[in-house]
Chain A
Amino acid sequence: MENPILTVQDLTVQIKNQQDITILNNINFDLQKGETLCIVGESGCGKSFTALSIMGLLPKKAKAYGKIMFKGKNLLQLSNEELRDIRGKEISMVFQDPLTSLNPLFSIYEQLSEIFIAHGFKNKKELKTRCLKILEDVKIPDPKTKLFSYPHELSGGQRQRILIGMAVALEPDIIIADEPTTALDVTIQYEILSLFNRLKRKKGLSALYITHDLSVVSEVGDRVIIMYAGTILEQGPKESILNNPYHPYTKGLLNSIPSLEKRGSYLTPIPGFVPSAENRPKGCPFHPRCLKKQAICTKKVPDKTFVSDNHFVYCHLVK
């Protein structure tokens, strides 16, 4: 806890429509140097909005409050020009869909060299060797020919590899990966995960890994944040969250994952479904689906309760 490279304090994001919709509600976390922090939650809980707030890429209608501290600066208060310098060079991002993240009209080389040029790199010859180096880094077979191919000539996994290569090309401090393997097959998912881990270690990056799949966490994370309906419900070290969860939601998620071992018995799913951002409940955001809810849960938002020195839960049951 000594050396956070990124600190998010009281981050609240609202969308301004006729009535304001609160997408993120008082998010607090910090990212330590060299660690991988996983943000886990089901679709619509605000994971992507968290990532976009850090990158300064929120949609126009959205307004962010709070503080995101990075190297002594509050990212929420920087101008567009200052943010542009930080993006790619100091914080970079990999998106979910490798199909739409690359421009189909330009070759891989043109798109790779663009990031170098954008950050003031001009030498043509060296540009090419650098781009080749990226492809070799992410283990694209036959990089010399693949460099001049177009996105549609590559498989989904290869495209995601290139995107990861692009993200680490300028040796940033932080890499944010927003569900990078959700659109890919299991076997490819494994490759991408191990590539991600290898590059992260090699370049000494800190990473924010966003996923909806708790089982992936065991492969990449150091610490885990469980998010639900725009709030954090539980946070702690990976082993502690996976083996010893406290929040009923985390338990429910773990129980919902089928496996060979659970064969022959019914799963214990979480009843109901994820509420939309407009109709989030009062009190504990999880109470309409919680099997253990009490009277107080519908009225009061639970306080932060530490169960060990770096594992805490927001639940009235945990005292």
Chain B
Amino acid sequence: MKDTILELRGIKKYFPIQKGLLKRTVGYIKAVDHVDLFVKRNQIVGIVGESGCGKSTLARCILRLYEIDDGKIFFNGKDVTTLTKKELKSYRQKVQIVFQDPYSSLNPKLTIKSSLMDGVKQANVEKPKRIEKISELLELVGLPKDSMHKYPHQFSGGQRQRICIARALSLNPELIVCDEPVSALDVSVQAQIINLLMELKEKIGLSLIFITHDLNLVGYFCDYVYVMYMGKIVECAPTLDIFKNPHHPYTRLLLDSIPGKRKQRPDSVFINKQDSQLNTQCGFAPRCKYFSKKCENNLDLREIEKGHWVRCSLI
């Protein structure tokens, strides 16, 4: 059994909805709602879900870019939720992030060299070795050395994403959180980046959290999948399990929606119209055809097989 590198316990992040002149809080967007998540060393963990379900927010909570409202983050068994600024620095060397939009991920006013320099400095590389380290990094992600003197606008989207990966690698991290790193790229370039990530995983022994809405990608290279819906994990299982044996109605809908691969046509959605009147804990209820009285109870994740958890009253 591989050891756990990252462990999230009941992570909660609510954004207040403010209204009026006085900015009174009238409610909360439950962007991330009591999420538990585990990443084993040298594993690729996928998080899928539709846009707005809280994937990016969760990624930023893991990086401690957002203050979490509740819950604990353990990294290599150590609680990193209550770190001081200094300790946080060393945590951040070990966990890095790659963002979705390759166009706003790089400072347009800086050369690639000075963009990468930040990380190299943080990693305490000695001064004379820094340039060397930068060219090593660029080589690692498959870019020529002399690209360090260019500006971001001289690169295509795929190349920029490579630079972002190089920047993340500059701190020698153990875990990289990839927030939809290929969603904005052309299909032909997407495969290049995916191959690069796989290669890095094998070469350096990286662990990855891979956020995406593309189930084909999940099926292709994740080891374990979390399905998220409205801030909650609704199902999680090893990839093959989830593809063979999906339980949550949302997971099934997702799998049935993969174009070209449909065995069975998904049912039309929004069956239960008055969603505001549904008294239930389940966020998916308005779209669920199995909705029944049972769904009104408190729903927890339940283990149905070893390592396969589902949050649904059908189980």
Contact = CB atoms under 8 A, between A and B. Distances in A.
A216 B192 CA distance: 21
A199 B221 CA distance: 37
Contacts of A274: 156, 186, 188-189
A193 interface: yes
Contacts of B195: 266-267, 269
A270 B220 contact: no
Interface in B14-69: 50-51
Interface string B121-146: 00000000000000000000000000
Contacts of A97: none
Contacts of B220: 258-260, 262-263, 267
Contact of B258 (A186, A262, A269): A186
A252 interface: yes
B186 A43 contact: yes
Contacts of B261: 259
B29 to A, nearest CB: 15
Contact of A257 (B158, B192, B216, B243): B216
Contacts of A269: 188-192, 194-195
B259 A216 contact: yes
B187 A256 contact: yes
Contacts of B198: 266
A305 B258 CA distance: 33
A26 interface: no
A42 B187 contact: yes
Interface string A22-56: 00000000000000000000110000000000000
Interface residues of A, number: 40
A253 B217 CA distance: 15
A259 B216 CA distance: 5
Nearest to A157: B269
A214 B216 CA distance: 13
B158 A273 contact: yes
B115 to A, nearest CB: 20
A268 interface: yes
A186 B260 contact: no
Contacts of B156: 273-274
Given A258-B191, A267-B195, A273-B159, A186 B268 contact: no
Contacts of A159: none
A142 interface: yes
A185 interface: yes
Nearest to B219: A260
A266 B253 CA distance: 28
B215 interface: yes
Contact of A267 (B194, B239, B253, B259): B194
A153 interface: no
Given A43-B186, A142-B273, A258-B191, A187 B50 contact: yes
Contacts of B51: 185
Nearest to A249: B188
A186 B188 contact: no
A258 B221 CA distance: 8
A270 B194 CA distance: 12
B40 to A, nearest CB: 18
B213 interface: yes
Contacts of A259: 216, 219-220, 261
Minimum-distance CB pairs A-B, first 4: A269-B191, A260-B219, A258-B220, A256-B191
Interface of A: 42-43, 139, 141-142, 185-191, 193-194, 212-216, 218-219, 252-253, 255-260, 262-263, 266-271, 273-274, 289
Given A141-B270, A186-B257, A258-B194, 11 more contacts: A42-B188, A185-B213, A212-B186, A258-B217, A258-B221, A259-B220, A260-B239, A268-B191, A271-B192, A273-B158, A273-B159
